[in-house]
Structure 1
């Protein structure tokens, strides 16, 4: 909604005529904070045209848009016209700046307040940059220049504004040129705080919630693989998953990332999900808080470096061992399982298949390992059986209808998930 209550201020200096249009408050007075900001922004423009030898008209205008309850986006524009033989010609029209502010206080509003999971938003932007880099044929180094602007919360430092149907984010492309993305709210609903959904998007949001409900009702099992990547087996697992159009979450041991970076990239490129399985595979509940932090975050750093910037959204603690301390130090969701293939115990493809047949259930999280040849041998028959039973095989996040997993929560399956006590 545009604020139509404006005050006009005219000024003439030599050949330059200046007009300012500033929004007013309820009493009809210029809003002081906006007027002050405009005074600062206009100086460079006035200096540029101070010596104009021809009649020059400069219009400064500030207007407010209210997209979200109690939040305004204030835009500052300038347009410049100069007299020519045929009349006035426009020399400039540009946005000088914009501010997101709370309506009642005019204090800054940070774009991060829109969202309920900053890590998920970082991964969203990084994935978008990775996909764009691939589509545009950029090198890894060129793509990395873009992804670095969005990793680890760096997106919060970018110039972002709320527009009519989404969020506009300005950044530097691989050539250091100004670029921007306009992202519809419909792509961001999964990460947004519900009280930040604009009124104009309520119908779209209701449709999104209906889609979430539909996905949560689908017959699905989340496949998950622990303990590597391993050059001898993980690529075989990926080939099988691709053949059967199945997705999985891979819980990576940090000490095995080095030398297997291409496999980590392949996992992402083929639509799978990365998880954290600690650096050295200890029982985390027997470690100190600092040791747990290092185990988890060192692995996260290695995965992010190998994947191009994506960080794990969940931790699979070795041996399933967790407590509140482990959860707090991890800072991400704990994901265990409800279907244990026992492939690590049997080391026998036939027994693994039979056990999965006996324990598979809708909404379950299936634990397997991508380090054993016997597990790889069993995988095609496991997938064929589950798909014949009507199951769609998905990542853990897909099992949860693409909603970000919550930190300080533990997930055993689609239904059994709760805060860590």
Structure 2
């Protein structure tokens, strides 16, 4: 190689090195500028969100280095579980899309729509790095979420509702009535019912809850029809007043519609305690017409009957038909039983129900010191031995001031009582037979 060629090669290499050095300098400069701009962007976003009208905000930046910024809710200064979950969701989404060099700021704005319920919408402010600067874009979410403003947890339709079987059935009834008004097909009805009970909801406002049918048609459920089944914390002051007034009217009606539940032939060592537990659960007082022969050995149960506020009454010693007995025999049947009841509970019964409801002049004379009580609704539980039939029989016949006859010695009767009381207590109040006569 000639000397001149060597000089040209050196010169060329020098130019290349110079160009590379200039490029490196530019790259370093741009990197520094991007870093400076990044810091300015982060500072600006943090400052903006800290002094904005947003109820809550989440900031995250520089996903590549796990450099996340999280601004706690500006209103109550506590972490919102739903928002924290959303941060993780968005973080995974950006990493999956291999956009880890972007700056992503996620802003959440909440708006109260009902007591303790807020809507949540998010907006992603995205800064994509170019050669000289970050380019800003914004992406608003089309989806609205609903959160409990106290817990920060996301709400679903079912979480708005009081959770018990009876309430769920009432909600189904209300929804079906709305579907009837809207002429919703059976196919769509099943889908929307499943959607509601499966905790899915399209939108919620102060006036309506909206679901979508199979063909994407909006189906609106008026809040005024569904709010009675909401948990108390989600009710407005006006709604609470409406429910309180309804309860006053219902209580007034129940007090006017009194009935007496009575049980004959006990106590039973197993079934009567089961029955007492059910009555206690429903806060119902009943009247027990006990047999003297069954009081023996079950004195603790008799004592419990009286202690829990029920009326204890006389049903004879061993269930004879009093009209076939002599005056002395009638007296022995009743007085012997009253003495056993008194010894067990400290209470002397003042009311008698003659076995089979059988009375004649002789029996009435011997029972003159007692009130005699029969019944107006016979469950025929001793005959059917079927809980469902017992319920059906009573519910079909019961009226205001009914005295209902059952027997606490049959397990099927006790099986029927829980559901029976649930149905009756909507319309009636329960009293003992003495309270009924007063």
Identify whether the pair has TM-score above 0.5, normalized to the shorter chain: no
Query: Structure 2 length as normaliser, TM-score?
Result: 0.41
Q: Which structure: greater strand fraction?
A: 1
Which protein is bigger by CA-based radius of gyration?
2
